[in-house]
A and B are shown apart, each in its own frame.
Chain A
């Protein structure tokens, strides 16, 4: 069964600190992995996308890594800001269909305190 598991479920950090969110997946055949940021009451917004051959991708203070062998990914946030408070969702796409079916994790709820 194709699944995406994220940890931790929730995380509280102080402004300025770094943090790392984890994602494990069993989706096969693998196509790509995305990290989305979802602010409360809003739709998800794509942060990074990585294919099988990529093992790291940065977007400003966000750096995602991918280990396709162990089927693990992480999202590292550097120098956190209050605006980073959101749910971070790991999304894996398979290449077994033309739709490019997406498998969503439940997200990590990050809260940044001043």
Chain B
């Protein structure tokens, strides 16, 4: 079992609220990622980070923002949640050896529902 944690596991919130999804890992991995996954669909990369103070947007455009102030922590923030943000959000991390074969370890995910 990978040492990567996400909180909350489930969140139901009203439109317009600001939310932060937490992700922490204790493996000392430099690379971290946020994915969005809808039921029956593939994972889409929305943000990634190579290390502290490094953040990049992924393939799927997202209104969320991320920060990487500490190696182990990679929170995702939505300033104003909308029903279209309803989805499962998965956080992952991997070593920064530069090899494409580095395995990504996933957290359990946060299921977000915006009413």
With an 8 A cutoff between CB atoms, is A93 at the interface?
yes
Q: Residues on A close to B: CB < 8 A?
A: 4, 9, 31-32, 34, 41-46, 49, 51, 89, 93-95, 98-102, 104-107, 109
| B50, chain A: closest CB distance, angstroms | 8
Partner of B43, one of A51, A100, A104: A104
Contact residues, B46-81 vs A (CB, 8 A): 48, 59
Chain B residues within an 8 Å CB radius of A105: 42
Q: A94 to B106: give the CA distance in the assembly, Å.
A: 19
Contact of A43 among B44, B102, B109 (CB under 8 A): B109
- Apart from A95-B100, A101-B59, what are 5 other A-B pairs with CB-CB below 8 Å? A31-B101, A98-B98, A100-B102, A102-B43, A106-B41
A43's nearest neighbour on chain B, judged by CB, is: B106
**CB pair B100 A43 closer than 8 Å:** no
Q: Is B86 an interface residue (CB 8 A)?
A: no
Structural contact, A100 and B109, CB atoms closer than 8 A: no
The A/B interface has a contact count, at CB < 8 Å, of 60
- Number of B positions contacting A (CB below 8 A): 27
Answer yes or no: B103 CB below 8 A from chain A CBs. yes
Looking at A32, A51, A99, the one whose CB has the most chain B CB atoms below 10 A away is: A99
Q: Is the interface of B mostly helix, strand, loop or mixed?
A: loop
Given the complex, which residues of B lie within 8 Å of A93, measured CB to CB?
100-101
User: Are B108 and A31 within 8 A (Cβ)?
Assistant: no
Q: Which of B72-115 contact A (CB under 8 A)?
A: 90-92, 98-109, 111
With A100-B99, A100-B101: A45-B42 Cβ-Cβ less than 8 Å: no
Task: Give the docked Cα–Cα distance between A89 and B74 (Å).
Answer: 24
> Contact: B104 with A41, CB < 8 Å?
no
Cβ of B95 to closest chain A Cβ, rounded Å: 11
B21 within 8 A of A: no
